[in-house]
């Protein structure tokens, strides 16, 4: 009887260890899906839900190293976009062209930035964005993103 109890104990430990190993392997396998889901969530927010400005399209290319944003005014009145501030641990952005700009309701503008270092093809980069703008009656307003802007570098 003593041998049977120790055998059952060893079997239970083996089953628990097996479940732990399967759990860790599944979590490791799905980590790539997790990043893709965050990128899709970011793209959906910035292209559809963000207000008063939406980023309807973008391209982050390694050579020449540029980030292009197409910004759309989703408000019902003219807005004057003066700056887009990027916050990131790794990269700073310098404005190349496109700002400041006046945007009528529904109008779009292309804005180009140069990163402090080239992006790596296929790698995702995360930024916190703040869009600074004015209206005809208010001198200084900011749109802060609820979600980070995550963009993948083209290859």
pLDDT at residue number 131:
97
Tell me the fold of 31-152: Immunoglobulin-like (2.60.40)
Residues of the chain with pLDDT under 50: none
C-alpha distances in Å from residue 46, one per residue of 28, 41, 91, 117: 28, 9, 20, 24
Q: What is the per-residue pLDDT across 110-139, written as a single tens digit (0 to 9) for each?
A: 999 999 999 999 999 999 999 999 999 999
pTM: 0.78
Decide: 79 and 134 in contact? Cβ < 8 Å.
yes
């Amino acid at each position: 009887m003593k041998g049977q109890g120790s055998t059952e104990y060893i079997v239970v430990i083996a089953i628990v260890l097996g479940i732990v190993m399967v759990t860790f392997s599944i979590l490791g396998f799905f980590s790539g899906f997790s990043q893709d889901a965050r990128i899709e969530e970011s793209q959906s927010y910035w292209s559809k839900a963000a207000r008063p400005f939406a980023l309807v399209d973008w391209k982050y290319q390694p050579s020449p190293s540029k980030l292009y944003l197409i910004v759309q005014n989703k408000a019902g009145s003219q807005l004057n976009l003066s700056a887009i501030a990027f916050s990131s641990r790794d990269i700073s952005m310098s404005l190349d062209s496109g700002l400041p700009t006046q945007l009528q309701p529904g109008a779009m503008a292309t804005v180009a930035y140069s990163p402090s270092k080239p992006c790596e093809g296929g790698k995702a980069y995360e930024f916190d964005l703040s869009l600074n703008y004015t209206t005809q009656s208010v001198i200084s307003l900011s749109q802060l993103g609820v979600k980070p802007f995550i963009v993948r570098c083209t290859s």
